[in-house]
Structure formats: C-alpha cells, structure tokens
Amino acid sequence: MLSKAVVLLSLVALIFPMVFFTFASPPLLILKHDTPQDARFVRGLFNYYYSVVVVAASLGGLGQLAVGRVAVGLAMGGVAAFVFAVRRWVVPRMDALRERIAGGDASAIPSFRRLHMAGILLNLVQVGVVAWGMAKLAAL
C-alpha cells in the first residue's frame, strides 16, 4: 500500500508543474519580447519550471527506489537528468539573447521567441513521455 502511495504522489508531484507550465507558457507568446522585462519574466518562468521539475523528479525517483520500484525510479531519474540538461541549454541562451535585446539588437527578438517556442515544445515532449509512462504503469 505504501509503495502505491509513493508512486501516485511522486507522479502527481511531477506531472502537476509540467501541466501547469504547459498552460502558463504559451499565452506569454503574445508578449513582443522586445523589452528586457519581457525576456526576464519568460526566462525566470522557464528557470523556475526547470528547477521544480528537477527536484520533483529527483525526489520522486528516490522515493520509487526506496519502495523497490527500480524501473520507475530510474525513469524519473532520467526525467530529472533530461530536464537538467535542457535547463543548461535553454536558460543561458535566454540570458544571452536578453542581453542583446537590452543592447538594442532587434535581431535577438525573433531568436528569443523561437527559443521560447522550442522550450514549450520540449515541455510538451516531456509531458507526453511522462503521461505515456504513467499509462504504461497503470496498465501493470
């Protein structure tokens, strides 16, 4: 019984921020991204999201391992590693583009928007993979 509770709670703790971000980030595409404040807000949202998901997946993975669900624990560890790597790829690029925007480089604005959209698409992939894994887990 405890193992089922750990499985459920860790998956909910992981999927909740993923789904929230899926719905919270696309509306920000209406921003022009032409001011440093727009870029700073979007960058901060992405950074916060990545941090929350890495912590949730790591703790969930450790909980899974603690109750003997090695495959699920390793899968959640894989999610944590993937999101950590994506964070290390996206956030520094957003920072660099934000500096260019602040410096008046108009060509940085479309690049920032594309990076914003790429981050959203990567999030959708993550949500899809986790949802698929949850469905497979429920079938067991």
Question: Are the CB atoms for 31 and 42 separated by under 8 Å?
Answer: yes
pLDDT of residue 82: 93
32-50 pLDDT, tens digit per residue, is 777 778 888 899 999 999 9
Angstrom CA distances, 64 to 4, 13, 81, 101, 133, stand at: 10, 13, 16, 44, 14
The reported pTM is: 0.86
How many whole angstroms separate alpha carbon 80 and alpha carbon 96? 24
pLDDT of residue 38: 83
pLDDT of residue 83: 93
DSSP letter for each residue of 9-39: HHHHHHHHHHHHHHHHSGGGGGS---SHHHH
Domain extent for 118: 2-139
DSSP SS3 for 97: helix
The total of structural domains in the chain comes to 1
84 contact partners, CB below 8 Å, separation of at least 6: 50, 54
Q: What is the pLDDT along the chain (140 residues), one digit of tens a residue?
A: 666 777 778 888 888 888 888 888 888 777 777 777 888 889 999 999 999 999 999 998 998 888 888 888 898 999 999 999 999 999 999 999 999 988 988 899 899 999 999 999 998 888 988 888 877 776 66
Question: From the CB of residue 62, how many other CB atoms can be counted at a distance below 10 Å?
Answer: 15
Question: Which letter, b or e, does each residue of 93-123 get, where b requires 16 or more Cβ atoms within 10 Å of its Cβ?
Answer: bbeebbebbeeeeeebbebbbebbeebbebb
pLDDT of residue 4: 72
pLDDT of residue 140: 63
How many whole angstroms separate alpha carbon 73 and alpha carbon 79? 10
pLDDT of residue 31: 74
